[in-house]
Structure 1
Amino acid sequence: MPRPFSAPSYRVKHVFQTVQGEGFWVGRPALFVRLVSCNMWSGYEADRARDADRTGADCPRWCDTDFTKEGASTLTADQLTDQMREIGGPAIDFCVLTGGEPLLQADAALVHALHEAGYEVALETNGTVPLADAFGNDNSEQLHTPDWVTCSPKRPEDQLALERYDELKLIVPDYRPSNYAQFAEHATPHSINGRERRLLWLQPEDGPRLEEAQAMAVDLALKHPEWRVSTQTHKVLNVK
């Protein structure tokens, strides 16, 4: 069932200004809003192996993101947008909702508030929560959705529920194009240089397997030229 249009508050781990480091909007100044919680991993070291076995996802074994509740703030949408303006000032008009899994919290009311505050809204999801569940509302059949959706799946394609997205990012070596051929068809085509193209990315996993992952990403892109290699530019630039 769709969530009600209004939601009282959101658990927010961090709000910070940076440049988008990955995908189509790489290099664009942005405010990142990291929401608490994920449905793949608890976020605690002791649970890595257990959650990988529980979910069938590989990401709990190597994820380096802190989305736990410790140190988080509980904010209404208006309080959040006020904090975002304090941090980013009036010039930054692009925000990214991330996690964890932001669709466990993000809803139509939050997106509406961000739009009213002048933000273009992007969202990064693992694809396990339908947009209709997160952004539908009881007052209208219209979906109040983000302007841009990036999907980085962590489960097999037959277990994904996301109806559509703007770009697909696979973290290699654990996630490969051959395993997401049908799901890749859900990507919204975008007109680039007069042609309709799907934005499909291969991103090397950072960490001890980086060199292996980089070589594999390049090799896969050469064999599947509809895919492109993405790097974590924010780490090259040494920013968040």
Structure 2
Amino acid sequence: MQVDETLIAALHDQGFEIAVETNGTIPAPSGIDWICVSPKAGADWLQRSGHELKLVYPQPGLLPDAISDSDFQYYLLQPMDGPMQKQNTRSAIAYCQANTKWRLSVQTHKILEIR
């Protein structure tokens, strides 16, 4: 199901706020209260503005420097999960320390091993 302006209006009429996370391959309709874009390497990235840009890091083919000129309030790096998660977390921390526009985003449930 795609979110459209009719659905957004109906939800707002009922008092709901709408927050979405998208890979950004389709432009978001107007009226969404919070937009988090998490682009993927190799995909066309059309939604280049919003509230939060979350980038899985490191992501070959999509580096923070290449997208930091987009229009977001918050820029977040999330360490890539998998066998190198600890190293990826250290790399993300180092990147955020050297580039203060970026903040670290962690998935607490993965750190606590809640799957």
Scaled to the shorter chain, the TM-score interval is 0.7 to 0.9
Equivalent position of 1:200 in the other structure: 75
Which amino acid is 1:223 matched to?
A: A
Whole-Å separation in 1 of the counterparts to 2:92 and 2:100: 11
Conservation of the 8 A alpha-carbon contact between 1:156 and 1:180: no
Higher relative contact order (CA 8 A, sep 6+): 1
After TM superposition, the runs of 4+ consecutive aligned structure 1 residues lying more than 3 A away are 234-240
Question: Larger C-alpha radius of gyration, 1 or 2?
Answer: 1
Unaligned runs of 5+ in 1: 1-9, 11-104, 136-142, 188-197
1:220 and 2:95 are equivalent in the alignment: yes
Report the alpha carbon displacement of residue 209 of structure 1 after superposing the two structures with TM: 2.0
Residue 173 of structure 1: which of 47, 54, 58 is its match? 58
Matched position secondary structure for 2:19 = strand
Conservation of the 8 A alpha-carbon contact between 1:201 and 1:230: yes
1:114 and 2:11 are equivalent in the alignment: yes
Unaligned runs of 5+ in 2: none
Matched position secondary structure for 1:114 = helix
Q: How does 1:20-31 map to 2 (within 5 A)?
A: none
Q: What's the TM-score, normalizing by structure 1?
A: 0.43
Which amino acid is 2:38 matched to?
A: S
Whole-Å separation in 2 of the counterparts to 1:154 and 1:121: 23
Q: Deviations over 1:177-212 (max 9, x none)?
A: 1121332xx11xxxxxxxxxx311010112222112
Q: What's the TM-score, normalizing by structure 2?
A: 0.83
Aligned length: 113
Computed over aligned residues only, the root mean square deviation of the Cα atoms, in angstroms, reads 2.2
Which amino acid is 2:66 matched to?
A: N
Cα 1:236/1:118, change in 2 over 3 Å: farther
